[in-house]
Amino acid sequence: MKNKYLILFAYLMLTSLGLWAKHNHPIDPKATRETKALYTNLGKLSKAHVLFGHQDATAYGHGWSGDPDRSDVKSVCGSHPAVIGMDINSISSGRSKEEIEKAKESLRKNVVDTYNRGGITTICWHFSNPVSGGGFNWKDSVSLPAVKYIVPGGKANDQYKRILDNIADWALSLKGSDGALVPLIFRPYHEFDGNWFWWGRSHCTREEFIALWQFTVSYLRDTKNVHNFLYAFSPDNRFLTEAQYLDRYPGDKWVDMLGTDNYGDMGRDRYDIDTAAKKLKIISDYALKTGKLASFTETGLESIPDTSWWTETLIKTLKKYPLNISYVLVWRNDSRSPTHFYAPFPGQVSVPNFLRFYNNPYTLFEKDLNNIYDKKKVSKK
Share of the chain above pLDDT 90, in %: 90
> Residue 9: its pLDDT value, please?
42
Residue 80 has pLDDT above 70, yes or no: yes
Mean pLDDT value across the chain? 94
What are 208-243's pLDDT values in tens digits? 999 999 999 999 999 999 999 999 999 999 999 999
What angle, rounded to 10 degrees, do the helices at 157-171 and 97-117 form?
40
Q: Which long-range contacts (CB under 8 A, 24 or more apart) does 199-204 make?
A: 199/127, 199/146, 199/147, 200/138, 201/248, 202/138, 203/138, 203/143, 203/145, 203/146, 203/147, 204/145, 204/147, 204/148
Type of residue at 87? D
Say what percent of the chain tops pLDDT 70: 94
> For residue range 6-34, what is the model confidence (pLDDT) as tens digits?
444 444 444 444 444 456 899 999 999 99
**Does residue 189 come out as left (phi exceeding 0), alpha (psi in the -120 to 50 range) or beta?**
left
Pairing type for strands 64-65 and 369-370 reads: unpaired
In this predicted structure, what is the pLDDT of residue 93? 75
Per-residue pLDDT at 128 = 96
The CATH number for 2-380, chosen from 1.20.58.190, 3.40.50.970, 3.40.50.2300, 3.20.20.80, is 3.20.20.80
Task: Indicate whether 5 pLDDT > 50.
Answer: no
The conformation of residue 269, written as its DSSP 8-state character, comes to S
Give domain limits for the chain: 2-380
Q: Is 94 exposed, middle or buried (0-12, 13-18, 19+ CB in 10 A)?
A: exposed
Through-space distance between the first and last CA atoms of the chain, rounded to whole angstroms: 40
Band the pLDDT of 95: cuts 50, 70, 90: confident
- pTM summary value: 0.94
Cβ proximity of 193 and 245 under 8 Å: no
Task: With a cut of 70, say whether residue 259 has pLDDT above it.
Answer: yes
pLDDT tens digits for range 260-303: 999 999 999 999 999 999 999 999 999 999 999 999 999 999 99
Over residues 253-263, mean pLDDT: 98
How large is the average pLDDT for residues 70-94? Answer: 95
- In contact, 288 and 19? CB cutoff 8 Å: yes
